[in-house]
Structure 1
Amino acid sequence: MTNTALTALREPAFPDAVITEAIRWTEQNGPLDDAQALRLAASRTADAHEGITQRALLLGERIGLQPELARARQWAPWVLLGLAALIVIAGLGLAGNVVGGGERHINVIVALASLLGLHALTLLMWLLGLLLPLGSVNTASLGWIWLSLTARVAGGKRGQAPVLVRAATGLLSRAKLLPWAFGLVSHGIWSLSFTVVLAAMLFALAFRSYTLSWETTILDPEFFVRAVQALGWAPAKLGFPVPDAATVMAATPATPGAAGQRTWALWLTGCIAVYGLLPRLLLVLLSAAVLRSRRKALQPEWQEPYYRKLAARFTALAPASIVDADPGRLRGAMPASLPASQLHDTLFVIGFELPPDMPWPPAGLPAEFAAHAQRIDGSAPARRALLDQLAQARPRTVMVVCHAVSSPDRGTERFLREVLMHCGECRLWLAGAPDAGATQRWLDWLRDTGLERITASDRPDIAP
């Protein structure tokens, strides 16, 4: 059971995703010095998401995340085994209370309630946590206790355990797998506990003589007849006997020698097996199957502003590629803009690589763009600072002002693609166009580079 409980969370990509998320939470308190890690990650891969992961792994090694995660994975089976042992001992204690009395008298209803009561309550809480977003329900499970104990044992009081736990549970929650992961642990421990309890009870009932009965002061005896028949319906499908009405009415302390004791014992055993052990075993299999089928969803949310900002920084560090149109050049794919639900109703205007003598802000700039107007010289630090600002603002529209006389090049294309990743719409104002030929040259270039969705004009009043 220990190996089964851990296998679903030991995919090679999951520890890397945990480290990546842990770095994100660590940088909530302030950015880390990542200049060297960023350059090294960019040299290893051209993919922005892989680069972000590589950067996180390099920073994680520096602040000790990987060693602590490795210790946690080593301690996890042992902590789980210890927790299971405690639950099994508690189960044996309940079984001893049922069959260990000196008078060898068992009240079947009380025995059934004591053995299945806590199980039914925790199972109901798990189902609530599965159906409703109740964090307190999940944190009350055996799975959460196991995770917390593992983190404490592996990291101590001053380690990186809290941020690692937050990262792991965040990934599981985002993938809607948190109740299934905790459930896999909880159901596995309960299955083991019920197996031991049933074995102890069957051994005691097989080699010692007991009197099984029911007692009541205020309830109608017919209630027990109906309850026994209802509870015995499911076990009867698996071959367990069900006491009939005569046997139920005869099983009272006043008639200790009544017949049917074997039927009562098998009915009690069948109820514990069907309502206790069987559901937990089935849920173990279901939880493992769900974790296995959805394990690819255990990835960071790459659309968050934090990751989009890092992706823009990686793009800025990427080696420049030839983008000038030529007969053999492949058409580039149009980058995806932000969805409308993530946009803010703001407008930006950016002057990109404009001549020093060109006035700024330019004459004829619409009033709605004047609040966020700035120019950059095209250097990597200036682009990175601007893209960080766009990643936070997520504007509805960005208008880039370029010098129409200048020739569009690969730096311009890369900048426009980066801007498109952080806004809803990008427009291009070709300032200082001497004639229609200059404007047409830019329009042809946008078409050849796959950026035809960008609206370009030699006037600032571009229609939406």
Structure 2
Amino acid sequence: MWNRPAAADARAASPLLQHWQAEAIRLREAHWGPLEDRAACQAALRRPPDLQERILARAAWLVEHGELHDRLVQWAVGARWALAALWLCACLAGIGTAAAVLGQGQVNLALALLGLLGLHALTFLIWLAGWLPGLPDSTALSRLWLWLTRRLVRGPDAALAAQAFLSLLGRARAWKTAIGLISHGAWTAAFLGAVPTLIVLLSTRRYTFHWETTLLSPEAFVGATRALGHLPGLLGFPAPDDVQIAASLGAQPLAAGVQADWSLWLIGCIVVWGLLPRLLALSACILLLRRRRARLAVDPSLPGWLDLRERLLPTHASLGIDRPAPAAATAASPAAPAAAEDGRAAVLAYELGPDLAWPPAGLPAGVADLGRCDSREDRARIRALLRAPPAHLLFVCDARLTPDRGAAAWLDELRRSCPDLRALCLGGTPQRVQAWQDTLTQQSVPRIPSLNGWLEYIGSPRHD
């Protein structure tokens, strides 16, 4: 199982994770309806009165108390593995390309440069052109990375995690930068595989280098060699002189020293015109991505967040106390029955039908009755009573009704508040009872067959 972050660590989460969680919750509610978030909103209202911070706090609470955190972690791990696999394949491709262009001994310099730098130069220019407005925001490598991630991460909410991540990067104008990181990382890995392969093969085998042409003149190759070898020469890579370049156009074998110069010239061209541009572009993408990530912000006007403004920044919150409340009002506040003061045990009815009498007859004096829970006001009253939770709590539900997300969320909240929560299902068809059983199993809440069985359970000496 993936480790779930503790509530105390919510503030320590990275900004990217916080906004990713918020975007995932927003999309989930947009697709499947609002979540039961009363406890999440109460936790958010304890934060400073800033809408963005409270939206992030609400999302962090919902993710922490649900299953979405595991999906986000799984998708993040799968995305990293997919990226590592993609870069490993690129490295192996670079090794294979370097070995292929050298061949068996006769190296055509023009074809070697074309094989090692041709596709790189083309894709690099395409990436530069991709910053122009109106061009697609995806490449073959980025689509392959997403495809590999989908193959590695399956199950519920996997697509939601990917959609939230891409939506977040797109809104922050960081998706093109992320595409550049994927692409430049792959090409860097390819050149990191190709350059050592060239060095090893050129150091252990004998190769002869030459230019071949039918249409071009020798002066064209002299100019090309000088132009390509200028920057490598500044880094210490030697370049053949004009005589040696002209001699390479002939059929006569060259001296060993000339062949060594051609070898170093070829390696210098790959390093300067291939590896270094990709390293610089990769570094630029990393820096830009970090800058864009630091500027992530919540847009309250987006659907899903617009409706939260009144709940997370209530207009009455800034009005203060108008006048002291009447003294008689304090007597109307709900209080637990006297039997609940010892914290022994309590029962709670959840949305029981009007034909089901409550409280049940014969309830012992030591068991507190928390009443019915049929509305948000009832939940608020019960939360107040559970600030000092009983040692044992019985959740009584009407199994004629189908459990929904609200019931599951309420069970989860009760389970976290009470050390020993058990459930009793009244009535219902076998299908409905099984639906409740599935919900109880998902929330790790044991089901008991009868009220008397629960009373015997809490009355046994080992549970005193």
Q: Which category describes the TM-score, using the shorter chain as reference length?
A: 0.5 to 0.7
String of CA shifts for 1:145-181, please: whole Å, max 9, x gaps.
Answer: 3344234412x1x432333222222222222222222
State the partner residue of 1:145.
144
Match of 1:243 among 240, 244, 266: 240
CA, structure 1 residues 42+288, in 2 after alignment: closer, same or farther (shift >3 Å)? closer
TM (norm. structure 2) is 0.61
Which letter does structure 1 place at the counterpart of 2:81?
W
State the partner residue of 1:119.
120
The within-5 A match list for 1:305-316 is 306-316=304-314
Answer yes or no: is 1:129 the counterpart of 2:127. Answer: no
Match of 2:197 among 176, 195, 200: 200
Match of 2:33 among 31, 34, 39: 31
CA, structure 1 residues 177+98, in 2 after alignment: closer, same or farther (shift >3 Å)? same
- Report the CA distance between 1:110 and its aligned residue: 0.5
State the partner residue of 1:299.
297
Answer yes or no: is 1:220 the counterpart of 2:217. Answer: yes
Once the two structures are overlaid, the 10-residue window that deviates more, 13-22 or 185-194, is: 185-194
Answer yes or no: is 1:53 the counterpart of 2:44. Answer: no
Take 1:58 and 1:144, find their aligned partners in 2: how far apart are those partners?
32
String of CA shifts for 1:307-352, please: whole Å, max 9, x gaps.
Answer: 2321123233875642659xxxxxxxxxxxxxxxxxxxxxxxxxxx
Take 1:318 and 1:275, find their aligned partners in 2: how far apart are those partners?
64
The within-5 A match list for 1:253-332 is 254-257=251-254, 260-304=258-302, 306-316=304-314, 319=317, 321-322=319-320
Which letter does structure 1 place at the counterpart of 2:263?
A
State the partner residue of 2:83.
80
Once the two structures are overlaid, the 10-residue window that deviates more, 194-203 or 316-325, is: 316-325
Take 2:29 and 2:303, find their aligned partners in 1: how far apart are those partners?
13
CA, structure 1 residues 191+35, in 2 after alignment: closer, same or farther (shift >3 Å)? closer
Take 2:241 and 2:230, find their aligned partners in 1: how far apart are those partners?
12
- Report the CA distance between 1:60 and its aligned residue: 3.9
CA, structure 1 residues 89+37, in 2 after alignment: closer, same or farther (shift >3 Å)? same
Q: Secondary structure at the match of 1:212?
A: strand
Take 1:216 and 1:303, find their aligned partners in 2: how far apart are those partners?
64
String of CA shifts for 1:191-241, please: whole Å, max 9, x gaps.
Answer: 222122111111111121110011112222322122111111221221222
Q: Secondary structure at the match of 1:294?
A: helix
Take 2:148 and 2:24, find their aligned partners in 1: how far apart are those partners?
19
* Unpaired runs of at least 5, structure 1: 1-9, 326-379, 382-464
Once the two structures are overlaid, the 10-residue window that deviates more, 52-61 or 119-128, is: 52-61
Once the two structures are overlaid, the 10-residue window that deviates more, 69-78 or 260-269, is: 69-78
For the 8 Å contact 1:49–1:311, the answer to whether it is kept is no
CA, structure 1 residues 133+168, in 2 after alignment: closer, same or farther (shift >3 Å)? farther
Q: Secondary structure at the match of 2:127?
A: helix
CA, structure 1 residues 54+263, in 2 after alignment: closer, same or farther (shift >3 Å)? same
CA, structure 1 residues 305+68, in 2 after alignment: closer, same or farther (shift >3 Å)? closer
State the partner residue of 1:108.
109
Take 1:143 and 1:185, find their aligned partners in 2: how far apart are those partners?
7
| Sequence identity (%) | 38
Which letter does structure 1 place at the counterpart of 2:265?
W
Take 1:11 and 1:240, find their aligned partners in 2: how far apart are those partners?
48
Answer yes or no: is 1:40 the counterpart of 2:39. Answer: no
For the 8 Å contact 1:18–1:167, the answer to whether it is kept is yes
State the partner residue of 1:397.
none
CA, structure 1 residues 320+160, in 2 after alignment: closer, same or farther (shift >3 Å)? same
Take 1:23 and 1:50, find their aligned partners in 2: how far apart are those partners?
15
Answer yes or no: is 1:90 the counterpart of 2:93. Answer: yes
State the partner residue of 2:185.
188
The within-5 A match list for 1:293-372 is 293-304=291-302, 306-316=304-314, 319=317, 321-322=319-320
CA, structure 1 residues 318+23, in 2 after alignment: closer, same or farther (shift >3 Å)? farther
Take 2:233 and 2:163, find their aligned partners in 1: how far apart are those partners?
46
Take 2:119 and 2:66, find their aligned partners in 1: how far apart are those partners?
42
* Unpaired runs of at least 5, structure 2: 1-11, 324-375, 378-464
For the 8 Å contact 2:240–2:262, the answer to whether it is kept is yes
Match of 1:71 among 57, 69, 74: 74
Q: Secondary structure at the match of 1:252?
A: coil
Take 1:209 and 1:290, find their aligned partners in 2: how far apart are those partners?
45
- Report the CA distance between 1:114 and its aligned residue: 0.5
Take 1:299 and 1:147, find their aligned partners in 2: how far apart are those partners?
25
Which letter does structure 2 place at the counterpart of 1:209?
R
Match of 1:234 among 220, 223, 231: 231
- Report the CA distance between 1:38 and its aligned residue: 5.1
- Report the CA distance between 1:271 and its aligned residue: 0.5
CA, structure 1 residues 174+35, in 2 after alignment: closer, same or farther (shift >3 Å)? closer
Which letter does structure 2 place at the counterpart of 1:262?
A
Which letter does structure 2 place at the counterpart of 1:49?
Q
Answer yes or no: is 1:14 the counterpart of 2:16. Answer: yes
CA, structure 1 residues 286+197, in 2 after alignment: closer, same or farther (shift >3 Å)? same
CA, structure 1 residues 293+192, in 2 after alignment: closer, same or farther (shift >3 Å)? same
String of CA shifts for 1:249-308, please: whole Å, max 9, x gaps.
Answer: 211361233562122111111110001111111122222222233322123323435423
CA, structure 1 residues 40+272, in 2 after alignment: closer, same or farther (shift >3 Å)? same
- Report the CA distance between 1:105 and its aligned residue: 0.5
